[in-house]
Structure 1
């Protein structure tokens, strides 16, 4: 018989960013506290997802020059 996994957070698990989630939901979406706490985890994830994605880095100067060469009417 195997031992049961320990209850509670694992040592390498990151804490949920409650402050950021509440700031986004209360500030940006203007949710009431009642509506915020009534969200399911899936609903909360759907609201927060577009704001938590990593954005692409700006193009390098070399890439920008290449694009300007391809599209000279932008100058």
Structure 2
């Protein structure tokens, strides 16, 4: 897991952006980075990549006797 500079993020959020603690902790790290202007554009996923993921992680089929409800 990538470590986050919580002290720096809290300083930027609470002092720089003047967020309340509740507002700060309600944000995701991505939202906070966006507010601080630190995000980079990410290209949307294409059909080929989606097909690769579908093949690598297929949906489980539900059998009649597996105990799960539909």
Higher relative contact order, structure no. (Cα contacts within 8 Å, ≥ 6 residues apart): 1
Band the TM-score falls in, shorter-chain normalisation: 0.3 to 0.5
TM-score (norm 1): 0.44
Report which of the two has the higher share of helix.
1
TM-score (norm 2): 0.46
Structure with bigger gyration radius: 1
